[in-house]
Amino acid sequence: MHGDPGRAADLARTQHIDAPALHRAGLVDTIVPDGEPGFVHRALAALASALAGTVPQPTRI
Instruction: Mention every residue, 6+ apart, whose C-beta is less than 8 A from residue 24.
Output: none
Helix boundaries (H) for the chain: 5-14, 19-24, 39-51
- Full-prediction pTM beyond 0.75? no
Answer yes or no: is 32 within a domain.
Answer: yes
> For residue 29, is it within any domain?
yes
In a domain, 14, yes or no: yes
> What is the four-CA torsion angle of 42, 47, 50, 51, rounded to 10 degrees?
-140
Task: Per-residue pLDDT tens, the chain, 61 aa: give them.
Answer: 345 556 656 656 666 666 666 656 665 544 455 555 566 777 777 777 777 776 556 666 6
**Distance separating alpha carbons of residues 25 and 4, to the nearest angstrom:** 25
51: buried, middle or exposed (CB in 10 Å: 19+, 13-18, 0-12)?
middle
Find the domain containing 40 and state its range: 5-51
Number of domains observed in the structure of the chain: 1
Is 56 domain-assigned?
Answer: no
